[in-house]
Amino acid sequence: MAEAGVSMDSIREKVVEAEERIRKAAGLEELKAIATEYLGKNGALTSLLRTVGSLPPEERPKFGQAVNEAKRSLEVLVAARETELLEVERRRAEERERVDLTMPGRAFRTGIAHPITQTEDRIKAAMIGLGFEFFEGPELEEMKYNFEALNYPPDHPAMDDQDTFYIDDHRLMRTQCTAIQGRVFEAKKPPLRVFTVGRCFRNETVDRTHGHTFHQVDAFMVDRGVNMAHLKGTLKAFATAMFGEGTQVRFRPDYFPFVEPGVDYSISCPFCSGNGCAVCKSSGWIELGGAGLIHPNILRSYGIDTEEWTGWAFGLGVERIPMMQYQIDDLRLFYENDYRFLEQFRA
């Protein structure tokens, strides 16, 4: 009996000892060694089984069962500890892979849209949204479309505002995108809503605010019963799309040979909500361009009955918009295309 009791105690003793060592195992190697030491072929518990012969026969099954149970419980413990140790090891390995969050991201090539074309895109979206159709005219234009077709009388001082680059006696670099009007009237019948965005050229001395090349928007419509209020409303919708909700439009009389009445239009300054700032020179208003009702002489010259049809037109410069929005003070920057300039307007 005493012999058997000692044996049962020795199992418990071994188990307690093994459990302690398994829990404390610091690495997988050590754990494996411990497992072998207790559970291996010549392990401490396995060896106990060999002492079973020294027990009374009736106690042998109980003893054997106890050893096997002890082995199983230790095996479970080893497996659990192994999982724990694997986890620790993985963590450690991952820790060695830690990145420096402050190192710069990989420099993939990504395109940059030019601020002028970005603005053109916004203009197009706004005008197409208002039902206008894009029409593209030539930059090297016939004199008649740039002037005569737009009701410029021959040798009129209004041409002085349009210092022109000539190619020959009949052709020039268009000085205004309004030059598409005659071409549109030749190609289409009213009702129509048309706009363009493109390059214009003027023989001007180049400085911060003048270039020999610039971009212009020109839009016009002809329909029954179209009037100045529709012009104002469309401009307001356009200005709202470009400059934000609440933008107001103001007209002042002005003169362009191709409109009658002619106005210049201003928008309420979107940068100071009309309170006065540097952009609007403290006036609360920013003059954007010229507009008016299409001159009846033009409509009639294309066989359009002005009793039935009336129309309006407006124009504005493209560069002005990003210059105001980004506080760019030199027009020439747009044409220098310095990466350090262009990348500021990534969008």
Partner 1 sequence: MRLPLEWLQDYVETEVPAAEIADLLTNLGHEVEAIHESDIGPVLEIKVTPNRGDCLSVLGVARELAAKDSQRFQPTELMRTAVRGWTLGDESKPLSETSVAIEAPDLCPRYGARVWTDVKTGPSSERVQRRITAAGMRPIDVVVDTTNYVMLELGQPLHAFDLDTLKEDRIVVRTAKPGEQIRTLDGVDRKLEPEMLMICDAERPVAVAGVMGGEETEVTPQTRRILLESAHFNPQSVRRTRRALNLHTEASHRFERYVDPEGVVRALNRFAILYEEQTGCRPCEGVADVYVRRWEPKKVPVREERWKMLLAMDVPRAIAASSLIALGCQVSESTEGLEATGPSWRSDLAIEEDFIEEIGRLYGYDKMPDLLPQGSTPLGGESALTALRSRARQAMLRLGYVEVVTHTLRAPSPLDAAEPLIPLRNPGSPEAAFLRNSLLPGLADVAPRNYGPSPFVFEIGRTFAGDREAVSLGALLAGRILPEHWASKQEDTVDFSAAKGCLERLFSHLRREAALEPSSDERFHPARQAKIMCAGKDVGIVGQLRRDLCEELHLPKESYAFEVCLSDVLDVPEYVPKYRPVSSFPFVRRDMAIEVSKAVPYADIEAAIQEAAGELLERIWLFDVYEGKGIPEGKHSLGVAMILRHPEKTLTDEEANAVRERAVARLEQLGAKLR
Query: In the complex, which residues of this chain contact Zn ion (CB under 5 A)?
Result: 269, 271-272, 277, 279-280
- φ/ψ of 172, rounded to 5, equals -150, 175
For position 339 contacting partner 1 by CB under 8 A, the verdict is yes
For position 1 contacting partner 1 by CB under 8 A, the verdict is no
Closest to Zn ion by CB, 46 or 240? 240
CA distance 344 to 347: 9
Site track 208-227 with partner 1 (rule: CB under 8 A), x = hit: ----xx-------x-xxxxx
Q: Which does 225 bind (CB under 5 to 8 A by kind): partner 1, Zn ion, none?
A: partner 1
- The one-letter amino acid at 257: P
Closest to Zn ion by CB, 90 or 281? 281
| Contacts of partner 1 in 288-317 (CB under 8 A) | 293, 295-297, 310
Q: Are 7 and 68 in contact (CB under 8 A)?
A: no
Distance of CA 284 to the CA centre of its chain: 30
Nearest distance from C-beta of residue 219 to Zn ion, angstroms: 25
Closest to partner 1 by CB, 92 or 339? 339
Q: Strand, helix or coil at 124?
A: helix
Nearest distance from C-beta of residue 322 to Zn ion, angstroms: 17
DSSP 94: H
For position 6 contacting partner 1 by CB under 8 A, the verdict is no
CA distance 112 to 344: 9
For position 233 contacting partner 1 by CB under 8 A, the verdict is yes
Closest to partner 1 by CB, 7 or 151? 151
Of 317, 323, 330, residue with least CA distance to 345 = 323
Paired tokens of 301: 């010259």
- φ/ψ of 122, rounded to 5, equals -65, -40
For position 66 contacting partner 1 by CB under 8 A, the verdict is no
For position 134 contacting partner 1 by CB under 8 A, the verdict is yes
Nearest distance from C-beta of residue 327 to Zn ion, angstroms: 12
Q: Which does 272 bind (CB under 5 to 8 A by kind): partner 1, Zn ion, none?
A: Zn ion
Angle between the 2-24 and 60-96 helix axes, to the nearest 10 degrees? 10
Q: Which stretch binds partner 1 (CB under 8 A): 20-28, 50-58, 158-166, 273-281?
A: 158-166
Residues 6+ apart with CB under 8 A from 268: 246, 247, 248, 249, 250, 274, 284, 285
Q: Which stretch binds partner 1 (CB under 8 A): 19-27, 46-54, 55-63, 251-259?
A: 251-259
Place of tokens 């052709």: 171
Residues 6+ apart with CB under 8 A from 65: none
Q: Which does 277 bind (CB under 5 to 8 A by kind): partner 1, Zn ion, none?
A: Zn ion
For position 153 contacting partner 1 by CB under 8 A, the verdict is yes
Distances (CA, A) of 95 to 29, 85, 116: 21, 15, 48
Closest to Zn ion by CB, 304 or 323? 323
Q: Which does 224 bind (CB under 5 to 8 A by kind): Zn ion, partner 1, none?
A: partner 1
Q: Which does 107 bind (CB under 5 to 8 A by kind): partner 1, Zn ion, none?
A: partner 1
Residue 274 CB-density burial (10 A; 0-12 exposed, 13-18 middle, 19+ buried): middle
Q: What is the size of the binding site for partner 1 (CB under 8 A)?
A: 93
